[in-house]
């Protein structure tokens, strides 16, 4: 999403340092692009950890691509907020073209040379599209609230921080008006997103420590 602002701190870097040795050997062995998801609630640090992880991979000579779930919303951000205000039942996974994102990931797994994807222009409240060249891409990092549910991925990462844990981070980001209505939205999202945690291979704890979820195999 064009216009997104990142606030990277040491916790994000610590998590990335601990994720790297869990993924690097698999990325290096992969014949085609290795796809990783980073999910969690609003303000949990998905975009920031994705950015730091991409930097760390580049230091190892591995070129990566970050895909943001925010680009796949049905409506652009300000319009989507209005839809939520009109009917709070609008909130949920149906707000996102997850099937399209999964098809794009399937194209990457199949070795396509380029990707045509949606692109959100935040300030202009519109959705356009862009063509992304995939030549030389060895890792794809997909970040977003519901990305744990995607099928065409190799490893799933889940940031285990709730909307109450992320309140300060959301205020710094200043993307939404912090009010009671937003708290209701975040509570709805929390119920959905927290149920996805058992599917993750890697868990980032509240304090940005990293644990393997051995139950996923």
Q: What is the DSSP code string of 135-194? A: TT--EEEEESTTGGG-SS-SEEEEE---TTTTHHHHHHHT-S--SHHHHHHHHHHHHHHH
Q: Which fold has domain 10-216?
A: Rossmann fold (3.40.50)
Domain boundaries, the chain: 10-216
Residue 4 has a pLDDT of 76
Q: What is the pLDDT of residue 168?
A: 67
pLDDT at 171: 61
Give the model's pLDDT for residue 66: 98
Cβ atoms < 10 Å from Cβ of 161: 22
Q: What is the band of 154 on the pLDDT scale with cuts at 50, 70, 90?
A: very high
What tens digit of pLDDT does each residue of 174-215 get? Answer: 555 657 898 999 999 999 999 999 999 999 999 999 999 987
Tell me the per-residue pLDDT of 34-82, one tens digit each, with 9 for 90 and over.
Answer: 999 999 999 999 999 999 999 999 999 999 999 999 999 999 999 999 9
Classify the C-alpha dihedral 144-211-197-149 as positive or negative.
Answer: positive
Mean residue pLDDT of the chain comes to 93
pLDDT of 30 strictly over 90? yes
Whether the CB-CB separation of 51 and 8 falls below 8 Å is answered with yes
pLDDT of 125 > 60? The answer is yes
Distance, in Å, from the CA atom of 184 to the CA atom of 65, rounded to the nearest integer, reads 33
Q: What's the whole-number mean pLDDT along residues 20-34? A: 97
* pLDDT-above-90 percentage for the chain: 85
């Amino acid at each position: 999403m064009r216009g997104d602002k990142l606030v990277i701190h040491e916790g994000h870097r610590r998590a990335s340092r601990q994720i790297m040795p869990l993924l690097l050997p698999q990325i290096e062995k992969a014949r085609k692009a290795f796809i990783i998801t980073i999910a969690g609630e609003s303000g949990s640090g998905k975009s920031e950890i994705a950015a730091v992880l991409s930097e760390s991979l580049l230091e190892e000579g591995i070129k990566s691509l970050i895909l943001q779930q925010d680009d796949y919303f049905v409506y652009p951000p300000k319009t989507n907020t209005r839809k939520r205000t009109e009917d709070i039942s609008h909130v949920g996974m149906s707000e996102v073209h997850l099937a399209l994102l999964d098809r794009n990931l399937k194209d990457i797994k199949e070795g396509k040379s380029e990707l045509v994807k949606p692109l959100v222009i935040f300030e202009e409240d519109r959705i356009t599209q862009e063509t992304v060249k995939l030549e030389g891409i060895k890792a794809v990092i997909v970040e977003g609230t519901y990305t744990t549910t995607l099928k065409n991925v190799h490893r799933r990462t889940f940031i285990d921080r709730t909307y109450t844990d992320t309140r300060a981070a959301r205020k710094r980001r200043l993307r939404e008006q912090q009010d009671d209505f937003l708290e209701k939205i975040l509570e709805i999202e929390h119920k959905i997103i927290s149920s996805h945690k058992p599917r993750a291979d890697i868990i980032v704890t509240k304090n940005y420590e990293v644990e393997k979820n051995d139950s996923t195999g």
